[in-house]
Amino acid sequence: MDQKIEYVNDGAEFHEIDPLLLNADSLMDFSIYERQPYQNDRYRFRCLLVDSSSIPKDRLMGLLKSWGKVYIHKDQIEKYHQYLKDNLAYILKHDEIDVGKKTDTLINLSRDVVKESFETNFSFPAVARQSLENAQRLISKAVEFISDIKSLNGIANLIGHDYETHTHSIKVGWLMATFINSNRELFNFDKAHDLKPFLIQAAVAGLLHDIGKIKIPPNILNKNGKLDNLEYIIIQSHTAYSASLLFDMDIAKHTMQAILYHHENEDGSGYPTGLSREQIPLIAKICHIADVFDALTSRRHYKEPKTPFAALKIMTGNNPYLDTLKKFEQEVSENIKAPVTAIVRDDYDIKLRRLREREIIEQEALKRVEARMKLRDQGMSHCFDKSLLKRFIITINKSESFELSGLL
């Protein structure tokens, strides 16, 4: 659809954009408008730029800096999104663009890429590989930004938001890249240029660490409440599903390790294989810390978000009820029925009496689920490498948006 030079309407057809996001070196395949008051609740949208190639670069740069709010027509939003993908590296490196706007741009584009991955039919290898390449391409453009300590201000702005699989995955990849870049002495990089590919692999691992959840039944994945034991076991299968989905994708070893083992605990009580201590790959330990930190600081329908300080206090705390917690966890892993017997002595029909007894047992089982969750929040230090967790706290404490010195 060819755009008009001028429109008069209520503004619903237009989308506001920041002119600083526009790259004078890149041809823009969409028209830019300014908005002026007209009458009542209507506005006049006048076209400022139709063809960016018709204006000298210096002149165009001056115009972009001088404009305040500018708009594009809704019919050209897809073209604008493609422009953002093509120019993401430019936007993230632009010193005059606010970190919040950089974060919003990156999150929106990343969410699309992760969503595409979760909707990919892995029965078609070519389609799956294309989805993986799209994730790698986006991360390669953003890796310098997300591995910079200053970018953690963007993560801080997302703390406390609703838990949403796509956004959660982005934040986990982001936290991993930042941590690795700040603690590169933990890794044996033979050459300086080996760092960037590794950061990309780590961030992609974060983006895809929960990809196996596409194989989990929606009624369990989106359950409006706490999971029972059997449902919890089914959820735990997502790590193995992830590995199977990505097995033929020529994915990097470190990426696969993070995805498969990011729920292994330091004391061997995790899943899927019960690895412990040095058996757990370093990249998986980092993914585990980032994953739990973001999960605890996100709002769920059954819990309020923790502050970063409160979340890390739980993660670093020694659990005084660890033996009881492990007993409950063993019940989960073996799908043991809650050790409760119900006897209803009312003079009901035998079928109604048995039904009521089963309801009581199920209620007791749910109480044990709630107890397990509360016990976990008493301390999780047994889950993590303590020196690595301390490094994580030190790393994010370097950002001006976090104050965690009381934990160190």
Could you give the count of Cα atoms lying within 13 Å of 135 in the half-sphere of its Cβ?
A: 31
Q: What is the DSSP string of 14-74?
A: EEEE-GGGS-TTS---S-EEEEEEEETTEEEEEEEES-GGGS-HHHHHHHHHH--SEEEEG
Residue type, 76: Q
Q: What percent of the chain has pLDDT over 70?
A: 90
pLDDT digit string (tens) for 391-404?
A: 999 999 998 888 88
pLDDT at 386: 95
Domain ranges of the chain: 1-79, 87-318+379-407, 324-374
pLDDT at 1: 47
Structure token pair of residue 27: 């041809």
pLDDT digit string (tens) for 341-379?
A: 555 556 567 666 666 666 666 666 667 677 777 777 888
pLDDT at 353: 62
What is the Cα gyration radius of the chain?
25
Q: How far apart are the first and last CA of the chain?
A: 59
Instruction: Name the region of 133 (left: φ>0; alpha: ψ -120 to 50; beta: rest).
Output: alpha
Structure token pair of residue 37: 């008051």
**pLDDT tens-place values along the chain, 408 residues long:** 467 889 999 999 999 998 889 888 887 788 889 999 888 889 999 988 877 777 777 788 788 888 888 999 999 999 999 999 999 999 999 888 888 889 889 998 998 888 888 888 888 888 888 888 999 999 999 999 999 998 888 888 888 776 776 788 999 999 999 999 999 999 887 776 789 999 999 999 999 999 999 898 888 887 777 777 778 888 889 999 998 888 888 888 899 999 999 999 999 988 899 999 999 999 999 999 999 999 999 887 777 889 999 999 999 998 887 788 777 777 666 665 555 555 555 656 766 666 666 666 666 666 767 777 777 788 899 999 999 999 999 999 998 888 887 777
- Does a cis peptide bond (omega within 30 degrees of 0) precede residue 305? no
User: What are the contacts of 271-280 at 24+ separation with CB within 8 A?
Assistant: 271/236, 271/239, 271/333, 272/236, 272/237, 272/239, 272/240, 277/385, 280/385
DSSP annotation of 2 reads P
pLDDT at 360: 66
- Can you give the pTM of this predicted structure? 0.85
CATH architecture of residue range(s) 87-318+379-407: Orthogonal Bundle (1.10)
Helix 165-182, helix 282-296: angle, nearest 10: 130
